[in-house]
Amino acid sequence: MANEKIVARTGNEAMAEAMRQINPDVVAAYPITPATEVVQIFAGYVADGIVDTEFVPVESEHSAMSACIGSSAAGGRTMTGTSSQGLALMAEMLYIAAGLRLPIVMADVNRALSSPINIHCDHSDTMMVRDAGWIQIFSENCQEAYDNMLQAVRIAETAKLPVVVTTDGFIISHGMERLEILSDEDAKNFVGEYKPENYLLNFDKPITVGALDLTDYYFEHKRQQVEAIKDSKKVILDVAKEFGTKYGRTYGLFEQYKMDDAQIAIVAMGSTAGTTKVVVDELRKNGVKAGLIKPRVFRPFPKEELAEALKNVKAIAVMDRSDSMNAQEGPLCVEVKAALFDADIKVPVLNYIYGLGGREIKLEDINFVYNELTDAVSGKSKNRISYLGVRE
């Protein structure tokens, strides 16, 4: 704690700062709003020679992830950053990075997907690639973005899985906040040195990466990958515990805010969780037993843990900042409901699709949701999907 410095930084600056301290071997990236600054600031560090990184200014996000895969397979600590359409263009390579078990770390600034084209925040980009096999970590604010980036490197290299750390576009990426940063030495010690096990540049043990699996091996390899993502829960918790012990900021798979005696709870990810905390505090003053669950880790999904945390509430609202276009609940709500079903928890679950394309979510909106939850507890409101803040 003593070595920490308190500064004012935007989310993008915080992520770039973490990348400077991580000092990866290779960063390959392509500009896209609102993530551009992350790699733009980083390119400045490269230009000034204050990092050892080879910066590869590729011609597309597809090549960004392809170059990252090449670099990571060759044995290097490798990072990138993107958003929205960039993440979509990378999609093919995201699955491959995960299947090859490469510990690439990516900053993703959540932004709506086209069409219509829109540069503002929602989670549809990250949700689009939720099954790509990457560990997905959401950040509520600049501090979490910074802390998550440092932890992501350790998580990725221990779990042998790629990790994406997200912030909410503009809301966090361009919002300036108070940020406690570790000393360079502490950050360096925390992330440690990367020692790859098998890598292309090791000519003593030449390897073939990306072989063709047919009917006789593909299933087994995917099964192992499933096990790796399951096991990564423990890795994430171990790394968080070490980080918390050393630097005082504790993290888990999700955050529980005033959940101990909560009767109604909202489940929300990213910056909206911050807004929700303000409302919870206000409601608590009036005796309403409101709580919040903020999933930090969406992949692997903390199914059992989340159900356990929600077992005593009387009604739940799940806030989805994207829509699956599946004529049922949004992606987060589908997961939460599956978790509740297997835990035999049968309480009203209201799903709110909100904030698409950066539509503002206000305190009043969250307050409205808690009011509906109170109605649901008394049987006045049933399971349903609502679109919060839309004109219709």
70/300 with CB nearer other proteins: 70
Q: Which residues contact 151 (CB under 8 A, 6 or more apart)?
A: 137, 236, 239, 240, 243, 251
71/126 with CB nearer other proteins: 71
41/73 with CB nearer other proteins: 73
Read off the amino acid at residue 182: L
Q: Which residues contact 312 (CB under 8 A, 6 or more apart)?
A: 262, 263
Q: Report, in Å, the least distance between residue 201 CB and other proteins.
A: 6
* CA-wise closest residue to 156 among 97, 220, 114, 81: 97
Question: Site for other proteins (CB under 8 A): which residue of 15, 29, 41, 93?
Answer: 93
Cis peptide before 232 (omega within 30 of 0): no
Within residues 205-244, the interface with other proteins by CB under 8 A covers 206-214, 217
Indicate whether 333 belongs to the interface with other proteins (CB under 8 A). no
Indicate whether 369 belongs to the interface with other proteins (CB under 8 A). no
Q: In what order do the strands lie in the sheet with 290-295?
A: 254-257, 290-295, 264-267, 315-320, 349-354, 384-388
Strand partners, 29: 57
100/229 with CB nearer other proteins: 100
Read off the amino acid at residue 306: L
Within residues 37-56, the interface with other proteins by CB under 8 A covers 52-54, 56
Indicate whether 105 belongs to the interface with other proteins (CB under 8 A). no
Segment near other proteins (CB under 8 A); pick from 9-17, 36-44, 92-100, 156-164: 92-100
Q: Report, in Å, the least distance between residue 224 CB and other proteins.
A: 13
- Is residue 143 within 8 A of residue 180, CB to CB? The reply is yes
Kindly list the residues in this chain that would bind other proteins in the complex (CB under 8 A): 25-26, 28, 52-54, 56-60, 62-64, 66-76, 78, 92-93, 96, 100, 200-203, 206-214, 217
